[in-house]
Structure 1
Amino acid sequence: MYLIVWSLFFSIAILSTVSSKSVNRISLFVFGFILVLFTGLRFYSGEDYQSYVWLYDITPSFIEDWTQVKTIPVEYGYALINFIFKLAGIESYLFLFVLSAVSLISKAYIFSKLSKISIISLFIYFSFVYYNSEFIQIRWALALSFIYFSILFYLHSKMYKAMLFLAIASSIHITSLLFFIILPLAKIAERYRIETPLFIVGICFLCLSPYIDITYLITSNFDFGGGGYFAIKLKTYLENVEARISWHVLFRYFASMIIVFILHRKYFYSNKYNKFDNYKFVKYQGALYTLFLVSSVFCFVFISFPILANRLYIFSDFLFALLIVNYVSCIKRFATKTIILIFVILVSFVYSLLLLNYMINSGNIYEYSTWWRMVA
């Protein structure tokens, strides 16, 4: 089932390289609808699904018990969402369906606003992160939706609204707190035009990552006693840190950064954006590039803390999927542009297949099953 859905997505992405804008918009809607159904209808097909059902089951279901929401072992915002749906008498599988729909529709909307060919950007992004960030990590998927909306406000220089959406995201998943640092730093870097030094710093941190143990530095220098939920959560993550990130994943991080750096210098600084004067996303390309560099640097700093680094790089993958499609769209020769887009789509598809095989073999996702059969 996984292969069928992703092969369909691959076919739509390939066709979009030669389709009109109106057809691509229809393709985005059609596949978005299919992906919402596929993701939302899953039933105990991922390793975290049972945990989210358990969280929902222990959520109070009466208004007079609302004060007990804070006892749920999860961020307060997510606990409150559970409580609201539980009051409405909605079953857990329908609740998780709604969360998946909100997450996926939000991301499709964001890509439609920032990408020249949104269906291709969406395909690249989900080829890298779908199974982790959407199929398994439901809370992080929802939090990312608010983070991505904050980026829209960030690009419009509406920092207060951006911070508000980050606050909502942080109430759903603790990792979102890092973006209160990333966004202001990116704004400073963009203002003082220090993108190239940022790139060099990022590469240095990546090369030095085998010698930087950030988990040891944190646990040996900070006392987590009496720090509340967030401190306990962080301590748990640090004490149960998994094996270091695989070399092939590090290589993908490295390759992504190199590719974006080269394409940005070629197509942004050479003023080849004149042909895109009618597209609003053009003026935001530089800001997205700086954000990509800053978030990548943070990711490389936390390489020894894989659970955090991987979640951070999901955001970088989001930016990469936008940037690479927008850069390639600058190529004037239609044949060259089409061939490159097809190559990028093909590489992403192969990566998604390898990732799917790994996730199944490692027990992160199981044979696909749906709750629809249970209620039909």
Structure 2
Amino acid sequence: MIPHPNPASGGPTAVKVLIVDDSTSARAMLRAIVESDPALRVSGLAADAYAAAKLMQTDLPDVILLDLELPGMDGVTFLKKIMAQRPIPVVVCSGLTARGSEQSLAALEAGAVEVILKPGAGDAQARAEAQLRICDALRAASQTRGARALAGAAGPRPQAAKLTADEMLPPPNPARVVPVTEPVVCIGSSTGGTEALRAILTALPPDAPGICIVQHMPAGFTAAFARRLDGLCQVKVSEAVDGAVLRQGEVLIAPGDQHMMLRRLPSGYRVTVATGPYVSRHRPSVDVLFRSGATAAGRNAMGLILTGMGDDGARCLGEMRAAGAMTVAQDEASSVVYGMPREAVRMGSVTQSMALDRMAAAIMGFARRHRAEVQA
């Protein structure tokens, strides 16, 4: 354990981050990443859960950046103790292994707000993307319900290039007529979204409409997340592959680090999975999915924007609405972070806001009304 308050990094209102990782080199790397953001400050470094607990007795952090592979007490056990005794937002920083993926899902279920992939060796672009992901995750965690809200007091966010969905596909043509087809649902979510998605999908019956989901999650973790949901739900849940057909009763989750787009076929819908630049600071991007939903499905679609920080999805949800889709935002009371839904409401992209526990019924109501229109 190496306590390292660093007053030079961040001001007095900066978010205090406790880094817990058994690797000396990983701690140094993560410290450098955190300290690159003026809104964040490293309040301590710990090599195991016991050293972290000791640090927390004298200097309680705002957010914990936690590795799960720790000596002595493992990270999931430590997380459960934190949530039982003194809940603090926790961001899991895990390595890409099968065990790591399963542990990360267990951590999310135990109360972690987000999982990010531990950076490895890479080129300058890969390092810059890792820095962006980690700092954004820590900022988002600090704004979860019950955490200290920043409200801009921690200073400006470092600006990075913020590309739009134009990088992946053109805007929808308002003059194009989309024929009536089977109903389809597009969902976008970020921080807090894994549990929100579980609440929605487990409440759906087997005849739910086909659903496409973008959840901000690292590569390698979405497959395990899809398998976990598939074991809990009546609908079939899987990680999307390029060219997969979207059918009634099936859910496709965008693979981490790849964009997913909906395409219309004469007989229904399929998805395209593709690499590309970060859009709205994310890959996969909700904006990319929603734009494709507006173009491919139009009034046959329903778009839902769930809990998450930032504005990914807010603008292109408006494109779905303009194309005739029903558009819904999660309300503030049920959101872990009311960022993405707030922006969608502010932009006029939303038909209505509602609590999370009403969304499964809203999806089925939309599907019934639309199918009745198809049969009329």
Sort the TM-score into its range (normalised by shorter chain): under 0.3
Larger strand share, 1 or 2: 2
**Greater length-normalized contact order (CA 8 Å, ≥ 6 residues apart):** 1
TM-score if structure 1 supplies the norm length? 0.27
TM-score if structure 2 supplies the norm length? 0.27
